[in-house]
Amino acid sequence: MKFSPAFYIINGWPSVEKTIEMVDKYVDHGVNAIQICMPSSNPYGESKFIQERMKHAIDQYGLNYDIFMDCIREIRKRHPKIEFHQVLYNDVADRIGLEKFADYCLEVQTYTVMVDNNETADYLNSRGVRTTDFLHYDMPEFMVERAVRTKNLVMLRSNSRYEDMEPREGLATWKQRIEWLRKRGVEGPIYPVSGISTKEQLQEVKDAGADGAYIGTALMELWEDEDKLWEKLDSFRYLTEAE
């Protein structure tokens, strides 16, 4: 069974050249999937760490998203098999234009796009671009029904960001929720997110039957100490399984 954790990178921080260089190094350390964002001028809901680095990228390059898309094109040229899990904010979608963005996603063979707008997601799906459906910790019925209908990738959130959110009865663990979703008819890949920053936590979601997981800023926070960065990344390496 495939299990492919995707590691978060901010496109353009501290530069597009550094982004490309670090992806090269990630691949050398066994990474086959990255979650990469187009920097947004309105990164709602993100941590201060991410907001500051997105602002740095925009201050440096402006809102010319061709620069950031060309960065991804260069990574694809260097790494034909790497999975791109792309993050798309509403303001970025408006600036690029959905038709152009869809063309670009198909060109670089995007694995999935995370977008918090169902109309945008439906358009991208109609163009043959897979998107991600979000499922909160309490798994509301309308989100479950959409995940069943679309067969898109499912980003399954923990309660680490919503500590006051209660799970459905009997569905508190990753394993319980993933098994329940499969029984409900969810066919798309399931990727847990939030609160996964150690090999033990990654092992837990793998054992629960997930298809992958999203590792947030836990690695980017170590970019200035590469010895620790590669030590941590290598600790995840043996858990990755290609198809």
The CA-based dihedral angle spanning residues 200, 202, 205, 208, taken in that order and rounded to the nearest 10 degrees: -60
- When divided into structural domains, the chain yields a total of 1
DSSP 159-177: SSS-TTPPPPTT--SHHHH
Q: Which of 56, 69, 64, 65 is nearest to 15 (CA)?
A: 56
Residue 137 belongs to a domain: no
Residue 118 belongs to a domain: yes
Give this prediction's pTM. 0.94
The proportion of the chain whose per-residue pLDDT surpasses 70, expressed as a percent, equals 97
Report residues of the chain scoring pLDDT below 70: 1, 160-163, 242-243
What pLDDT was estimated at residue 44? Answer: 87
Residue 123 belongs to a domain: yes
In this structure, what token pair is assigned to residue 197? Answer: 């920053």
What pLDDT was estimated at residue 163? Answer: 63
What pLDDT was estimated at residue 165? Answer: 83
Contact 191, 210 (CB under 8 A): yes
CATH number at residue 24: 3.20.20.70
Q: What's the maximum distance between 2 C-alpha atoms anywhere in the chain?
A: 49
The CA-based dihedral angle spanning residues 218, 220, 222, 223, taken in that order and rounded to the nearest 10 degrees: 170
Q: Which of 25, 30, 28 is nearest to 6 (CA)?
A: 30
Summarised one tens digit per residue, pLDDT across range 85-125 is 999 999 999 999 999 999 999 999 999 999 999 999 999 99
Residue 203 belongs to a domain: no
Which string of b and e fits 43-71 if b means at least 16 CB within 10 Å?
beebeeebbebbebbbeebeeebeebbeb
Residue 151 belongs to a domain: no
Instruction: Give Cα 37 to chain centroid, integer Å.
Output: 8
Residue 186 belongs to a domain: no
Residue 190 has a CB neighbour count (10 Å cut-off) of 24
What pLDDT was estimated at residue 194? Answer: 87
Mean pLDDT of all residues belonging to the chain: 94
Residue 169 belongs to a domain: no
Q: Look up the domain containing 17 and give its range.
A: 6-130+213-237
What pLDDT was estimated at residue 72? Answer: 98
Residue 120 belongs to a domain: yes
What pLDDT was estimated at residue 1? Answer: 64
